[in-house]
Structure 1
Amino acid sequence: MPFLLLLFILSFTSGATEVKYNYLPARNNLSVLKPRELELVAKEIYGIKAVRCQENFCQIELFPLLVDYSLEGFSIFSLPKLEKYLGLQTFYRYSEPRLSSVAENITFFLKNRGYLDASVKSILFVSKEGFAKLNLYGKEGNLYFWGGFDFEGNKCFSQKEFYRAYQKPFGTPFSYIDLYNALDIAHKLCRKKSSYKSFVYYREPPRVEKKNLIHFARKNLRETPFLFINFLSNYLDILIENPIAGVKFLFSTRKAVYPKLVIQIEEKTLKLEIEGANKIPKKVLVEKIKEFTRSLPFFSTLNLQNFLLNLYHSKGFFDVKIEILRKDHLLKIRISEGKRYKLEVRVNPNLKNLKLPKEKFYSKEVEKKLVKLVENYLRKEKYLYEGIKIYREINKERGRVVLTLFVINPRKVAISQNFHIAVKNRNLKKFIEEKLEEIDSYKVVAEENYRKEVQDSLKNLLVEFGCESPGVSLKREETEKGIKLIWKIYCPSVKKFGKTVFWIEGRIKQRELEYMIKNFEGKRFNRKYLTLLEKRLRETDLFESISVKTVNGEKIYPLIEGVEKKPLSLEGLALFSSDEGLVLDTSFRMIDPFGRGSVFSFRYKLSQRRNLYELSYLDNYLFSASFFGGLSLFKRYEEHRDYKITYKGFSVTAGYHLNLYTDLALTMVSNHYKLDGERGRVYKFVSSAEVYYPFSFPQRGLFSAYLNLSVATHKGNYAKAVGGLNLALFRPNFYGSLKFSAGVVTSKAPVFEKFYLGGIKNLKGYSYEGVAPYGGGDIFWYLGTEAGFPAIKPFYLFAGFDLGNSVKRGENPFREFKKDIFAGVGGITTAGPIRFVVAFPLEGKITFGNIKYLFLIGFNF
């Protein structure tokens, strides 16, 4: 009996791994993995520096967790740029070397923006638990401007020539990066003027003088008008970035830096005298000679003579004679060009319908062009060949070059492909079939790189899907009819999920994370599960960043990494529309104050005709993995064409996560209202269902649907039903969506429960009351579509149309329905989302007064 008890205890604990850390870790469940699995997964976690495992024990070394950092002594204008430049975020892990080098990075940043006296000191404290605090103390000092360069040595260019190439206006903030760029430009200018090597370097210290804005404006204007315009543009940038420094520069003298550039040339410049060059311009010859001599370790007239002979031969002058005489630094080159040889082209064997352009004279460029044209013809006509050999016959008596292009073993064959796809999953099989249809069979046979690329992409696709021992093979068979390509793509079985692993930095408790993060262990790998899990986690609104990725081993381990949001946040949007005018919608949130995954928020929405106050609580995983709930207190005022209403009340929601795809909920709403002076009360119960389903592999689309059924009391009972479908498709350079919704409400429903359908959310080309009859509609339907394409990052262009109608009971909703078209631009910026929409109703003549528009900017602090 004791032996059996001991065996039971050992079997119960054998799956766990003892894990020790050098610092306090994030919330995680790494200990559920076996040591070998843990080593595999831990290497993919961003905050882990190293992991070492032995038997049932693992030692993990972590980077410090940055819990706080401060920047002191810097101007308010520099702080946002410094924070963006550093890219540090609290509750992320960084290595000690990176945190220790922050002061040096800031100093470098400031000195390259004109603050040459900048000094920065950093104090890094890392506690025993691994919490890092970084304090940065800085002093920017004066802003130095660039006033020009002092040149020393054998100058091989004029100042005007240099500044025209440099294109940096005088009086802009000094930068060492620009100084290094100036060294490169000076070196290139010297190389253009000299046949020998030159050296350009910067000598400390620079000359410093005090100058004012007028001095630099005049200096730029004297050089070129372009520099003057660029100077004004740069000054406006200074005013925007740092108004104090910009105003000081306007009304006082500021320090200007004049760096010294020293130029040294190894020997005097070669002087060239060229006689007899007619067919190749002398200017081109001089540049070619300079390039050639600079590439040599030492100069030789014999090498130069051979170079010029080859140059003329490449242009078709095979009778050229070149004589070079050198006296000190004078090179005298006499050239007798002779006649240019004509060209005769032959292709062996003769290719039917091959038409080559008639070239009168021979040259290397023409030769390459003709070979390229023959190759393109062979590919276009699906010829297989082993290569092209070139034979040149130079006939000096006739002054002609006979160029023969030998196509080795050309043959035109039929290429057929057979595909054997041993894949059980229908979506994957269909996707592979689509990929195979795109394959160019000719390129597979003719180009080895393309063939390998196709095989690798197919195998990577199988690996990404989770196939165990996937394979892609290609067999080539020669038949009487041509070439037969036999593809075999097989996925014997799909790997199973391993344990789902998470690593979350934040206040949230371990138990809550176990509620949220579903374990797929034992199931066959399916990427849809991961897509749905990521959606669930983002819906909690708890995480500043969250990623769901996989680690491939004997099993596929889902790995969730994330950082919880800060406890307090302010987010919202500001918009201006033709329907509502200026609207401000803000939400102050308290996120996870007790570590239970709950969110408290206060929302305030203000517009010209509507406002809203709402205090709410939401917990997406209420003490379990299946239930969710929420509570809301609200007060609203709305002013419409048909009525004015003020109402206040509360709502309570209890819901159930049926599975990853479906949510069910029941909501009770109590509403006290004042409608055009008349007071009343409504009690409403709403049952709702939502379905979210990604389809195809990889994720290429989404399907979602919802259904809300309501019953309420208001001077008699009434009921309301609303449902909708949404289909979205995603491609690399395109997205499209199709929406449909419909609803019906009984006749006893109050006016504020009726359907109006207009506005930017539905029929965008109409105002809120512009679709439904007076008093609102009892029935509505809506169909909308939208398509978008990427533009300049991060923006995209989109366009679409809407159809729909809202009518009284007994009327035909499909007769004389409303329709509109719209277009706009949108994107996600660092500050938040941005969107601009313009819509036109397709009713009568389109006029400026009929245009509806919306401009929206989101923000988050």
Structure 2
Amino acid sequence: MFGADQQNRFIKIFFFILCFGAFNLVFAQSNDSTLVSSADATPSAQSSLIIERIEIVGATKTKPHVIHRYLSLKAGDAVTPEAIDRDYEALSATHFFKQVEFSSKPGGAAGKVILVIEVVERRWPWLEFAGGFSELEGWYIVPAGVRFDNTFGNGNIAGGRFIIGDRTGGFYLHFRQPQIFSSSFDLQVEAGSNSTDFIHYLAAREAVHRVDIGSGRIAFVGNRGLARYFSAGFRFNVARPEAQYKIGDTTRTDFPPELAGQLTKKRINSFFTRLQVDTRDQVYFPHTGVWGALSLETANVWTANSSSRFERTGDFRRLIFDARLYQPIGANVFAVRAKAGLVSRVAPFYERFYLGGAYSLRGFAERGMTPLGWGTELLLAQAEMRFPVAGDPQQPSLMAALFFDAGRVASADLSGEQNRFFTAAGAGFRVKVPIIGLLRCDFAYPLDRDDFRFHFALGQTF
């Protein structure tokens, strides 16, 4: 992160101020951060009571099956505060409703109750400002967006949003229909465009190269039963690499041969499948469980000729394996990750792998260990010991961590020194901030050199 351009320096200063502002905020807050739901006001929520039926009040637009989709409680189940809290959170998280309240009334027999769920529906689109973390794409911030969820009462999720991520930003339209055709799969459709800055190191200097990408995606994602482990779909991209790059404030066009041949406009059509498992107890600060994904993508590449017509110029396949394990040790958590990737040589650099930086191998410059033209093979191993410091140990507002990273990225065109393993170790802390989520600060030390690097980032490393 040293030697970055002026814009990156500004971002680092901003993160530094935000980090320590949030750090002070943590100690100004009360340790009692437990969310109190309306379930606390349910007088009949005792384990000895059985649900006779569930009564829904106020849902004039939303179909009953949409609400039941998010409920774990069914008729005949025992009522427990934990189950009511869980279902309250699930319904509230949909944002279909302005208000959700749970209550109960006597049933038709002793020991039976009628569970009453009263909702106030959203009638109009609503503005979105959010942040989050995708296990596959990393952190993101939505500075502006509009949502049209549950438009016709069928539980659809739709909208448009501006998204800022790791060196990327763009606008996307998205639509998701849960349990399409009453199946175990959600239909997801997305279309948009983004501009992404790719980093190359030319004569040991950081060069920033922008690629504009228009994309479309349609996928079927399992959400229940055995189907929840599987997803598949199609991706359609049109990539336009700029014919210039920047080193600091200087704009240049003298690309090395490894990149000069990849500046033409390309269309990439692909089919992907993914197997995924997630047994973590929670996403924010997992204490136990595993998360794993195995994805395979096969794509064809079409390159624009001098008359702007696309001609098929090759095919590539990409395989990615990512596995994470979380094991509690007292109030602390030991987390370990293994990731491997392989992609064909035909893939352009913006479809390949990188190594180095806050979201990869800490202790090294951003994308600093990436070969020219980016990598076709990736190996990454990471281990962390995480310690809750302040707040609820299950949902800490401040965490500390010790970590070790090791990684290797290789290109089919290179060998020897450029393909060796790199290792680093260090310590850091994570602060929970509103909307954004986690702000992460890491001090990392490469084990083969007398140096260190300070990383600011958003979200957990894994």
Give me the TM-score of the superposition, normalised by structure 2: 0.61
Over the residues paired in the alignment, what is the CA RMSD in angstroms? 4.9
For 1:630, the aligned partner's letter is Q
> Residues of 1 paired with 2:335 and 2:99: CA distance?
26
2:68 aligns with 514
Checking the alignment, whether the CA contact within 8 Å between 2:73 and 2:87 is kept in structure 1 is: no
Within the candidate set 570, 589, 598, 2:156 is matched to 598
Task: Report what 1:805 is aligned to.
Answer: 408
Q: How far apart are 1:685 and its partner, in Å?
A: 0.9
**2:422 is equivalent to residue 817 of structure 1:** yes
Answer whether contact 1:661 1:693 (CA < 8 A) is retained: no
Aligned to 1:726: 324
The correspondence for 1:588, drawn from 117, 121, 145, is 145
For residues 660 and 549 of structure 1, the distance between their equivalents in structure 2, rounded to whole angstroms, comes to 33
Pick 1 or 2: higher relative contact order, CA cutoff 8 A, min separation 6. 2
Q: Which residue of structure 2 aligns with residue 796 of structure 1?
A: 398
The question of whether the paired residues in 1 share the 8 Å contact of 2:404 and 2:424 is answered with yes
The aligned amino acid for 1:723 is F
- Which residue matches 1:706? 293
Secondary structure of 1:640's aligned partner? strand
1:826–1:503 Cα change, 3 Å: farther
Q: Which residue of 2 aligns with 1:136?
A: none
Deviations 1:564-618 (A, max 9, x none): 785413223499xxxxxxx964251413222221222322235896321211112
1:835 alignment partner in structure 2: 439
Q: Secondary structure of 1:792's partner?
A: strand
Shift of 1:665: 1.7
8 Å contact 2:437–2:458 — kept in the other structure? no
8 Å CA contact 1:757, 1:806 repeated in 2: yes
Q: Which of the residues 623, 634, 659 maps onto 2:225?
A: 659
Q: How does 1:299-318 map to 2 (within 5 A)?
A: none
Q: Alpha-carbon deviations, 1:52-77, whole Å to 9, x = none?
A: xxxxxxxxxxxxxxxxxxxxxxxxxx
Aligned-partner Cα distance in 1 for 2:110–2:339: 46
Q: Which has the higher helix share?
A: 1
**1:736 Cα deviation from its structure 2 partner:** 3.6
Structure 2 unmatched ranges of 5 or more:
1-36, 134-139, 201-208, 244-263, 302-312
Q: Read off the aligned partner of 2:66 and give its amino acid letter.
A: E
Map of 1:569-718 to 2, 5 A cutoff?
569-573=127-131, 585-590=142-147, 591-606=149-164, 610-624=168-182, 626-642=184-200, 643-659=209-225, 662-677=228-243, 678-693=264-279, 701-714=288-301, 715-718=313-316
TM-aligned CA distance change 1:851 to 1:656, over 3 Å: closer
Matched residue, 1:737:
335
Q: CA deviation at 1:834?
A: 4.3
Tell me the secondary structure at the aligned position of residue 851 of structure 1: strand
Distance 1:817 1:726, change over 3 A: same
1:493-512 matches, cutoff 5 A? 501=54, 508-512=62-66
- 1:647 deviates by 1.4
With normalisation by structure 1, the TM-score equals 0.35
**Per-residue deviation, 1:752:** 0.9
When residues 574 and 700 of structure 1 are mapped into structure 2, their CA distance, relative to the original with a 3 A threshold, is closer
CA distance in 2, matches of 1:772, 1:610: 18
1:754 Cα deviation from its structure 2 partner: 0.6
Superposition map of 1:57-136 within 5 A = none
On the 8 A contact 1:711/1:720 being kept in 2, the answer is: yes
Please, which moves more after superposition, 498-507 or 626-635?
A: 498-507
1:706-785, aligned counterparts within 5 Å?
706-714=293-301, 715-730=313-328, 733-785=331-383
Counterpart of 1:741 in structure 2: which amino acid? Answer: K
CA gap 1:518/1:852 in 2 versus in 1, 3 angstroms: closer
Change (3 A) 1:835 1:783: same
Change (3 A) 1:717 1:777: same
Question: Whole-Å Cα distance in 1 between the matches of residues 112 and 371 of structure 2?
Answer: 57
* Distance of aligned partners of 1:795 and 1:754 in 2 relative to their CA distance in 1, 3 Å threshold: same
Cα distance in structure 2, aligned partners of 1:717 and 1:666: 19
> Post-superposition shift, 1:762?
2.5
Question: What CA distance in whole angstroms lies between the structure 2 residues aligned with 1:559 and 1:744?
Answer: 52
Partner of 1:338: none
Match of 1:435 in 2: none
Cα distance in 1 for partners of 2:94, 2:373 equals 38
Contact 2:237–2:269 (Cα < 8 Å) also in 1: yes
* Contact 1:755/1:779 (<8 A) preserved: yes
Shift of 1:659: 0.9
Counterpart CA distance in 2 for 1:517 and 1:555 is 21
Change (3 A) 1:833 1:541: same
| Cα shift at 1:679 | 1.0
TM-aligned CA deviation for residue 691 of structure 1: 1.5
Larger Cα Rg: Structure 1 or Structure 2? 1
Identity within the alignment, %: 16
